[in-house]
Each structure stands twice: as structure tokens, then as C-alpha cells.
Chains A and B, each alone.
Chain A
Amino acid sequence: MKIYDAKPILVGLAIFLGITTFPFWYNGGKASPPPEPKLDTPVISKMEKKECVASKDYMRKSHMALLNEWRTEAVRKANRYYVTAGGKLYPVSLQRGCLKCHSNKADFCDQCHNYIGLKPYCWDCHLSPQEKKTTTQVAEGE
């Protein structure tokens, strides 16, 4: 079988395959390291019973749903405190509640969010503890 204009076609095909498979050979088959959210903040390490506002399993899967619920309760229904199943009292607030214990946004929130390429817009407004560089992050995220 003879291919007309075989040379440019084959070269073009090679270039096309090279570009489309770029992500595979560029990463060389290495998997990026799985996220490791850290819980070693000063507040958490001081806790006797390490317990969040809900179970670890629920928080892992549905923290975003809980955050939405908290937003509605605090802002719209004016309920500003949350009693957990264990009877502990927490302010319904991302900055004064969640981030009080999880004061390590880079080692906690960002771990998974970066892994799956998610950019939650929480941080456009909400401040993570003493992270002065958020300004540039917001500008880039826009």
C-alpha cells in the first residue's frame, strides 16, 4: 500500500501524538502524592478528645454542605452557635469556628483542594489566620 504524501502526514501524525500524550510522558507515570491534611495545630494538639463538629467521615465527604448550612444559619437565621452531638458549643463561623482549630489552611484545606484542582471562593472574603499573602491569591484566582 502506498500512502500519498507519506512524509508530511507521518511527521504531522507524530507531532499530534506527541502533543496529545504530553501529560502522560511528561509526568513519567508518577502519581502525584496523595493529600495529607495535617491536624497538628496547637489548638487541636491541646484537645483531650480530638473531636470535630461532626464525625470525621461526614466532615471528609460533606464539610462543604455543612459550611453552606452554617452560612444560612448564621447569616440568614441569626443562629450564631452550634451544639454538637457531643454537647460542645462552637461559634457558627468559618474564621472564629473552623479556623480556630484548623489554623493551618495550607496544610489542611489546601491539601485536598489543590490535589483535585479545586479553588473554593471561600478565601476571596474569609481570612485564614495570619496569611498576609492572600491578597495576591485572590487577584490570581479572579
Chain B
Amino acid sequence: MDKGKRDFLKITGACALGLSALPLVKATAKEKGPAYINIPKALQGKRWAMVIDVRKCQEQQKRGECNKCAEACHYIHNVPKIPNEEEIKWIWKDTFEHAFPGTAHEFVPDELKEGPFVLLCNHCSKPPCVRVCPTQATFQRADGIVMMDHHRCIGCRYCMAGCPFGARSFNWRDPRPYIEKLNYQYPTRRRGVVEKCTFCAERLGEGLEPACVEACPAKALIFGDLEDPTSEVRKILKEHLTLRRKYELGTHPNVYYLV
């Protein structure tokens, strides 16, 4: 076959033209069939984060002990109430010293000392728990959420050793007898798996904000996308000085504290 340079270029051009029509063909040829989708109202982000306004939380506490965020979260996710060292927690309150061990000193303002600081999984951008998980049971979603797939968890607890925030709890026993009121819309866990906050991934898919954010009467928890310059969290971070827990460890936590 004798082909000159001119023919070669012609064929190349024709091929390129044909390829460029591929997306069009794909779009029209797409048959209607079973598909996995997200509903339009689902909340989608690129890097989910939370700002916790400690002053607002404190004001609420002055009006009487408030634990609504933890109550809402723990009910919705069937988190058991087990006392002492087998405790399982997704979101909890602690003092300044415990939340920020590197930052606290003896002259910290009295009103800050006791907090309370609402603590939860920081959904780090560089999560050590994900790096150490041998089965990829814990992994990072595209939107930044550090998620647990309990089906894969083998209970080795490497992630608990890896997490510098103590955000993970291990089920030493069957948790069901310790759940006061079961939520039948969400599974429980079984003995031998690790669990933690998931930023309410299942609620985001329904277009709802995390349960703690919704439950907070003081609106002290603010949830949003850090990659979205117009989001409220970005606005707060731009206008105020915020703290992150143990940022020096380089895990890039995504929960910010406004003090």
C-alpha cells in the first residue's frame, strides 16, 4: 500500500474528528437502565469541615447542662452507652487541657479552662488511621470524609493507635444490649469493630446536615465545604482566629475551634 504524507494527514484528521464525536455518541447511546445515583438535594462538597463556636456553646451551658449534640448523634447512629474504659463515643465534651494539650498552660483564662470543647473525629485531610488500616476498612472519601466500612473491619485497632485524637472506639462486646433506644433507620455495630463519627455521610446523601449541627440549640456547630469560598465555614475562618487540635502532627484536621 502506497500512502503519501498527505493521505496520512487526511486519515489522522478524520480519526481525530471521529474521536471528538465520542462523548456525543456516548451521551445519546446511554440506555436507561439500573444506575447508582445521588439525589439532587444531596449535599456535595470537596472538603467537608466543621467550625465549633466554643463561646456559643459555653453560653448555652450557662443556661443549663446541654448535651444535645451527643444525644442526637448517639441516638441516630445507635451508639451504645457503656460505662468506663469500654465507652463508645462519636462526639463528646472535654476540657481545654485535654483538647489542646500542647497549647494549654497554667494561666489559661478560667472561662476557657473548662470549655466545654466539643470533640469528634477531625476528618483529617491526611488521616493516619487510613494509612495504617490493613484492610482499607477506614478510608477517605472524595469529599474528605474519613469513613468506616464496618464490613471490612477486622478489629486490629491499628487505627485507634494511629489516631492522635482518641476519636475512635472499639466494640469490646456486642453493643446492642447497651443501646437505650434503637434507631431502625441505621445499623448498629457488632463485637470486634472500631467505630467513629462519619460526619453523617448517610444524612448528607439525603440533603441533611450532620445530626449534631442540626441538634445544637446555640448553633455553635457550623458545617460546610472548605473548598467553597462562599461557604459559612470559610467566612468564619477568614474573619476569626481559630484553633485546630494538634495541628503540629501534620494530619491536617478539618474541625476548627472558635475561642
Say if the beta carbon of A65 comes within 8 Å of chain B.
no
Say if the beta carbon of A83 comes within 8 Å of chain B.
yes
Residue A135 contacts which of B39, B174, B206 (CB distance < 8 angstroms)? B174
Dominant SS among interface residues on chain B:
loop
**A80 near B42 (CB under 8 angstroms)?**
yes
Give Cα distance in the complex from A73 to B37, angstroms. 9
Give the residues in chain B near A13, CB-CB below 8 Å. none
Give the residues in chain B near A127, CB-CB below 8 Å. 78, 182, 184, 187-188
**A79 near B176 (CB under 8 angstroms)?**
no
Give the residues in chain A near B187, CB-CB below 8 Å. 94-95, 125-127
**B205 near A71 (CB under 8 angstroms)?**
no
**B182 near A125 (CB under 8 angstroms)?**
no
**A125 near B189 (CB under 8 angstroms)?**
yes
Give the residues in chain A near B182, CB-CB below 8 Å. 127
Say if the beta carbon of A81 comes within 8 Å of chain B.
yes
**A95 near B174 (CB under 8 angstroms)?**
no
Stretch in contact with the other chain, from A1-9, A36-44, A84-92: A84-92
A3 to chain B, nearest CB (A): 56
Say if the beta carbon of A75 comes within 8 Å of chain B.
yes
Most buried by B among A79, A127, A142: A127
Say if the beta carbon of A138 comes within 8 Å of chain B.
yes
| Nearest A residue to B143, CB-CB | A78
Say if the beta carbon of A134 comes within 8 Å of chain B.
yes
Which residues between 113 and 139 of chain A lie within 8 Å of chain B, taking CB atoms? 121, 124-127, 129-130, 134-135, 138-139
Which residues between 175 and 207 of chain B lie within 8 Å of chain A, taking CB atoms? 176-177, 182, 184-191, 201-202, 205-206
Residue B190 contacts which of A77, A81, A87, A124 (CB distance < 8 angstroms)? A124
**B184 near A130 (CB under 8 angstroms)?**
yes
Quick one: CB contact mask for A47-88 with B, threshold 8 Å, 1 for yes? 000000110000000000000000101111111111111010
| Nearest A residue to B188, CB-CB | A125
Say if the beta carbon of B35 comes within 8 Å of chain A.
yes
The count of A-to-B residue pairs whose CB atoms sit within 8 angstroms is 81
Give Cα distance in the complex from A85 to B33, angstroms. 4
Give the residues in chain A near B62, CB-CB below 8 Å. none
B85 to chain A, nearest CB (A): 21
**A75 near B35 (CB under 8 angstroms)?**
no
Give Cα distance in the complex from A83 to B33, angstroms. 7
| Nearest A residue to B190, CB-CB | A124
Residue B35 contacts which of A74, A82, A125 (CB distance < 8 angstroms)? A82
**A134 near B191 (CB under 8 angstroms)?**
no
**B176 near A138 (CB under 8 angstroms)?**
yes
Stretch in contact with the other chain, from B103-111, B147-155, B237-245: B147-155
Residue A92 contacts which of B36, B174, B176, B184 (CB distance < 8 angstroms)? B36
Say if the beta carbon of B142 comes within 8 Å of chain A.
yes
Give Cα distance in the complex from A85 to B191, angstroms. 38
Q: A-side interface residues toward B, CB under 8 Å?
A: 53-54, 71, 73-85, 87, 89, 92-96, 121, 124-127, 129-130, 134-135, 138-139, 142
Q: List 7 A-B contacts (CB under 8 A).
A: A78-B142, A79-B36, A80-B205, A92-B36, A125-B188, A127-B78, A129-B184
Q: 13 extra interchain contacts, Cβ-Cβ under 8 A, other than A75-B147, A82-B34, A125-B189? A: A53-B34, A54-B34, A75-B149, A78-B143, A78-B201, A80-B42, A81-B39, A83-B34, A95-B184, A125-B188, A130-B184, A134-B176, A138-B174
Closest 7 CB pairs of A and B: A80-B205, A79-B36, A124-B190, A125-B187, A135-B176, A73-B36, A126-B187
